[in-house]
Amino acid sequence: MKISHIISENKLVTRIRKNITWKLFIITALVFIIFISSTLTFQMLFFGRFYINKKESNMLNQVEKFRTLYNKTNDEDKIANLIRRFEQDNNAKIVIMDRSGKIKFITRLEDQSYDKVRIKAINDIIVNWTMNSDLLEQVKRDNRSVTVITEKKINGTKNILTVVPNKKIWR
């Protein structure tokens, strides 16, 4: 009791309690805590979905540009270079399939271990599509692009998969 009585009567403690600087510090700290927590909450709720939507639309646009260039080219070496350039520029993997959904063309990257994981995931998705889904048939029938976010993660990230029909290949 003596210690608390001494502290409460201490002029320094009383002065701090009444000091405007202390009150401003508390108010400023509370404002910053509220601002930072609301900013983090906003980012957590909205920016993740915003990023995915932006990435989806960007990928769809880039794939459409690729399809146009692909249809203009008949040389396989030029096609391979076109695919490699697309993959490097967009951090994406391109797979060209035939009518039945089998892989017709796929490139290999310098990082073989990472590429093997991506190719395995792509193969799993294709097998899953051809066996369990009519999505591939719907893409061919409606002649429209479809973008899907996969639940299977590669190196901790989900993947955005865009399927673009190409009448040149499927006829």
- Tell me the pLDDT of the chain (171 aa) as tens digits: 566 666 556 666 666 667 788 888 889 999 999 999 999 999 988 888 888 888 888 888 888 888 888 888 888 888 888 888 888 888 777 777 776 666 677 776 565 666 677 677 777 777 766 665 666 677 777 777 777 676 666 666 777 777 777 765 444
Structure tokens at 102: 């089998």
pLDDT of residue 28: 96
d(C-alpha 14, C-alpha 166), whole Å: 79
pLDDT, residue 170, reads 42
- In DSSP terms, which residues pair with 149 in a beta bridge? 160
DSSP state of 46: I
* Residue 37: predicted pLDDT: 97
DSSP annotation of 134: S
Per the DSSP assignment, residues forming a β-bridge with 97 are: 103
